[in-house]
Amino acid sequence: MRALCALAVLLGCTPRDYGRWRWAGAAASVVTYSAAVTVGSLDGEQACDAAPGQLECPRLYDTLALSLALTGLAGGLTVATAMMCYQTEVARELPEMGRFASGLATP
């Protein structure tokens, strides 16, 4: 972990403690994935009740594009949340290795 922290500092990444934002990001990811699965399961289903004498409703749900868009959004949220968690860990490691990262001391 120390090597990753030093690499992050050398690359100019700004470590921050995101606190509750990472939990909000994780919750948003779960909700968005759930919505994508729910919307995707409706794809091709009947959109109305059959009229008397009909076996099937002529209108069907076409939700595949929306489901794929929600899945992409959820993936982006997941990556952003992972980066927030990583940067929070880097921020927690830096105080103890601050002198090493700045080049004032050796490990």
pLDDT single digits (tens) 63-73: 999 999 999 99
* Total of domains in the chain: 1
* Residue 45 predicted with pLDDT over 60: yes
Task: Name the pLDDT band for 28 (thresholds 50, 70, 90).
Answer: very high
Q: Supply the DSSP symbol for 51.
A: P
**Residue 97 resides in a domain:** yes
**Residue 16 resides in a domain:** yes
Give the structural domain span for 76: 2-48+57-102
pTM assigned to the model:
0.66
**Residue 98 resides in a domain:** yes
Q: Could you give the CA distance from residue 55 to residue 48 in angstroms, rounded to a whole number?
A: 12
Whether the CB-CB separation of 90 and 82 falls below 8 Å is answered with no
**Residue 107 resides in a domain:** no
